[in-house]
């Protein structure tokens, strides 16, 4: 974005009602005008949060004055949101209720969709407040008139960490009656899990139980978000505009009428739709050949303009399915793979569709439904209609333990290429925590990846699409990638102490944490809990941790190798053993981070924290649970689990 012609800063200051001739403001504005769209979005949120901290009650409005305009409509900001305004009469703006948009997210997709809706509404003159659920004061809920929830379900039915407090409040006994509220819910999830969009469904149902009225039916987005999100956002914006936009009795001039995509069009950052190239520099196995699993360390060369990242972020990579698996799937469907299929405006051979455009290592319920109908498989149809909790568990286990090829083998039928392609989901990118600091390795992004490879119940070789794609990558190969920001998992300030729990490849972001804090000269202490199967075969980055201890960039490390003794020892056991010291660190303000397995490890670690609060903090069961909730609310309990 160019800085504009001479005098641009003065004219902009005049339009904004800023003081003429204020050199600091003029200089600042010139710098702001030169920023990319992505930087502007970030800066707007930063300024909004800064203003909120200076007595604005958490709400910031960007105001402008133009000739003949009495005052301003606005997009308010709580937390980290771009503020957008439009010129309207004060009376008209006051007459229309504001729209509150809350988002709960793990990977950032919910936030992006919420921001799109905010821009749509603000361009029409509505007053919009947009905030992360974790930053929303639930006492305000009873006062809301127009509410939109954009919320992701993490894994199989879990709320994201920034959603949990709001979710528990709305579903709990303290939630108020909401007879004046009109609302809409957009859910994000993964249909390969039985509890698809569970969080959105529960919130939608509960708000209705509390007396609120739906503006529109709940939207449910699978991994291919835009198919549902685009039409849903358009409809919601239209309905909300009718309720929230001020009457057009005065001049309405949007300050930013464009969609966020247009505003950031000049940004060079890669996106899901337009990934950038990442070149493989190093791909080496860092577990021994005797290890129970193969873990890879990859170093990728990246263009810092397109793949700029912060410590704690993830790198999303578009995988290609292996050729041998594509051939097997085609064979199981009675096809050659050479059949030409036209979809989405493109004509490609079936094998090419299956290589880079369709999921064949993950099974979702819609695919099972298609197979049940196509193969007349009554057993599969029954599995898809669980009548009790045991049946739900059976379905979840089937989805987790089968790939497309397994299902086609079990329920044989002849397919046309068009039918098979229609039954399969679009291929989704795979995300990996970045295990390097951009300060320590400029122009590079490192990954720590466990290669998913196993023998199925039928004795056949199976792999994970994403990790196998990386395992096959050689030096100088090019990957398609983009950054997935993870703002809730940034390192704390250099002065703060931190405790890191990262078994297996969950240690990846903490390698970056330690690198960055050393370069920043951090004075805060750091404590790592690492676990794996064997010290000899799978102690990931052993020499780096030893060197970090010697240099003082890592204060201490506790290890749990589960198979080095007769009884299994995991990281949660080490936490309990060090409970007294851990409690002292946490009582003195330390941040607690956990990364890795969401199904078993993360709940076990959380249970260990509750136990530590009881044993060493003198709390009863309820008090320990309240303490953990407070730790999360204070922003000192951070999870990146999957």
What span, in angstroms and rounded, lies between the C-alpha atoms of 641 and 41? Answer: 27
pLDDT in tens, 481-531: 999 999 889 999 999 999 999 999 999 999 999 999 999 999 999 999 999
> Closest by alpha carbon to 144, among 92, 88, 101, 202?
101
Which one is predicted more confidently, 419 or 127?
419
CATH code given to domain 334-421: 1.20.990.10
Query: What stretches of 124-248 adopt beta strand conformation (E)?
Result: 128-132, 146-154, 158-159, 182-188, 213-214, 219-221
Mean pLDDT of 88-94: 46
CA atoms within 13 A on the CB side of 317: 28
Q: Can you count the helices (H) and strands (E) in the chain?
A: 24, 25
- Distance, in Å, from the CA atom of 259 to the CA atom of 592, rounded to the nearest integer, reads 37
Q: What is the pLDDT of residue 155?
A: 74
The dihedral through the CA atoms of 596, 493, 574, 634 has a sign that is negative
CATH 3.40.50.360 residue spans of the chain? 67-263
pLDDT band at 35 (very low <50, low <70, confident <90, very high): low
The angle subtended at Cα 335 by Cα 334 and Cα 341, nearest 5°, is: 140
CATH 2.40.30.10 placement within the chain? 276-319+429-484
Per residue in 232-273, pLDDT (tens digit) is: 999 999 999 888 755 444 333 233 333 343 333 335 899 999
* DSSP-assigned beta bridge partners for residue 171: none
Identity of the highest mean pLDDT range in 219-228, 238-247, 533-542: 533-542
Which among 611, 499, 608, 488 has a CA at the least distance from the CA of 163? 488
Give yes or no for a contact between 75 and 44, defined as CB atoms under 8 angstroms apart.
no
N-terminal to C-terminal alpha carbon distance within the chain: 38
* Residues 149-166, mean pLDDT to the nearest whole number: 89
Residue range(s) in the chain whose domain bears CATH number 1.20.990.10: 334-421
DSSP letter at 572 equals: H
With a CB cutoff of 8 Å and minimum separation 6, the contacts of 205 are none
Give how far Cα 638 sits from Cα of 204, 591, 607, Å: 27, 8, 15
Fold of the domain spanning 67-263: Rossmann fold (3.40.50)
Residues near 506 by beta carbon (within 8 Å), at least 6 away in sequence? 433, 594, 595, 596, 597, 601
Q: Where in the chain do CATH 3.40.50.80 domains reside?
A: 491-641
Among the listed residues 528, 525, 581, 513, the one whose alpha carbon sits nearest the alpha carbon of residue 558: 528
Q: How far is CA 263 from the centre of its chain?
A: 22
What topology is assigned to 491-641 in CATH? Answer: Rossmann fold (3.40.50)
Give the bridge partners for 528, in sequence order.
500, 557
Q: Would the pLDDT of 144 be above 50?
A: yes
Question: Model confidence over 169-199: pLDDT tens digits?
Answer: 999 988 999 999 999 999 999 888 888 999 9
Question: To 10 degrees, the CA torsion angle through 631, 633, 635, 639?
Answer: 80
Residue 30 pLDDT: 58
What CATH code is assigned to 276-319+429-484? 2.40.30.10
């Amino acid at each position: 974005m160019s800085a504009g012609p001479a005098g641009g800063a003065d004219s902009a200051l005049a339009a904004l009602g800023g003081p003429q001739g204020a050199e600091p403001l003029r200089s600042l504005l010139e710098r702001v005008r030169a920023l990319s769209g992505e930087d502007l979005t970030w800066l707007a949120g930063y300024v909004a949060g800064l203003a909120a901290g200076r007595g604005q009650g958490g709400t910031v409005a960007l105001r402008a004055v133009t000739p003949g305009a009495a005052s301003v409509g606005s997009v308010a900001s709580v937390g980290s949101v771009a503020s957008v305004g439009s010129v309207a009469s004060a009376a008209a703006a006051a007459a229309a209720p504001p729209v509150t948009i809350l988002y709960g997210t793990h990977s950032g997709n919910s936030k992006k969709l919420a921001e799109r809706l905010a821009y749509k509404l603000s361009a029409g003159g509505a007053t919009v407040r947009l905030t992360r659920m974790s930053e929303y004061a639930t006492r305000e809920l009873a006062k809301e008139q127009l509410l939109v929830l954009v919320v992701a379900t993490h894994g199989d039915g879990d709320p994201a960490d920034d959603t949990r407090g709001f979710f528990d409040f709305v579903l709990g006994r303290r939630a108020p009656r909401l007879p004046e509220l009109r609302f809409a819910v957009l859910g994000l999830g993964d249909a390969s899990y039985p509890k698809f969009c569970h969080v959105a469904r529960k919130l939608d149902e509960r708000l209705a139980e509390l007396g609120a009225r739906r503006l529109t039916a709940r939207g449910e987005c699978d991994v291919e978000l835009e198919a549902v999100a685009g039409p849903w956002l358009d409809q919601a914006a239209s309905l909300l505009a009718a309720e929230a936009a001020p009457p057009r009795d005065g001049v309405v001039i949007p300050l930013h009428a464009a969609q966020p995509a247009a505003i950031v069009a000049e940004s060079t950052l890669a996106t899901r739709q337009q990934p950038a190239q990442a070149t493989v520099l190093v791909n080496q196995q860092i577990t021994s050949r005797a290890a129970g699993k193969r873990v890879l360390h990859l170093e990728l060369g990246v263009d810092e303009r397109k793949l700029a990242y912060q410590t704690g972020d993830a790198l999303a990579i578009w995988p290609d399915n292996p050729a041998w698996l594509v051939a097997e799937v085609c064979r199981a469907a009675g096809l050659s793979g050479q059949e030409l299929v036209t979809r989405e405006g493109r004509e490609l051979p079936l094998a090419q569709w299956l290589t880079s455009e369709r999921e064949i290592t993950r099974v979702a319920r819609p695919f099972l439904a298609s197979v049940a109908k196509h193969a007349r498989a009554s057993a599969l149809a029954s599995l898809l209609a669980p009548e009790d909790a045991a049946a739900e568990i059976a379905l979840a286990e089937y989805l987790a333990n089968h790939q497309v090829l397994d299902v086609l083998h079990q329920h044989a039928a002849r397919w046309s290429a068009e039918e098979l392609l229609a039954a399969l989901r679009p291929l989704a990118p795979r995300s990996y925590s970045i295990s390097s600091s951009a300060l320590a390795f400029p122009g590079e992004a490192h990954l720590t990846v466990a290669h998913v490879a196993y023998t199925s119940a039928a004795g056949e070789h199976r792999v994970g699409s994403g990790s196998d794609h990386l395992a096959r990558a050689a030096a100088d190969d090019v990957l398609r990638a983009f950054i997935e920001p993870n703002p809730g998992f940034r390192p704390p300030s250099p002065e703060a102490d931190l405790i890191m729990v990262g078994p297996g490849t969950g240690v990846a972001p903490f390698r970056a944490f330690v690198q960055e804090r050393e370069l920043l000269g951090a004075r805060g202490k750091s404590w790592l809990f690492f676990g794996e199967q064997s010290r000899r075969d799978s102690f990931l980055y052993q020499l780096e941790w030893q060197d970090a201890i010697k240099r003082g960039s890592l204060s201490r490390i506790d290890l749990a190798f589960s198979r080095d003794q007769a009884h299994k020892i995991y990281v949660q056991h080490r936490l309990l053993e060090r409970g007294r010291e851990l409690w002292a660190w946490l009582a003195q303000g330390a941040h607690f981070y956990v990364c890795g397995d969401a199904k078993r490890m993360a709940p076990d670690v959380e249970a260990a924290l509750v136990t530590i609060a009881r044993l060493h903090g003198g709390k009863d069961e309820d008090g320990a649970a309240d303490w953990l909730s407070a730790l999360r609310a204070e922003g000192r309990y951070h999870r990146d689990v999957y």
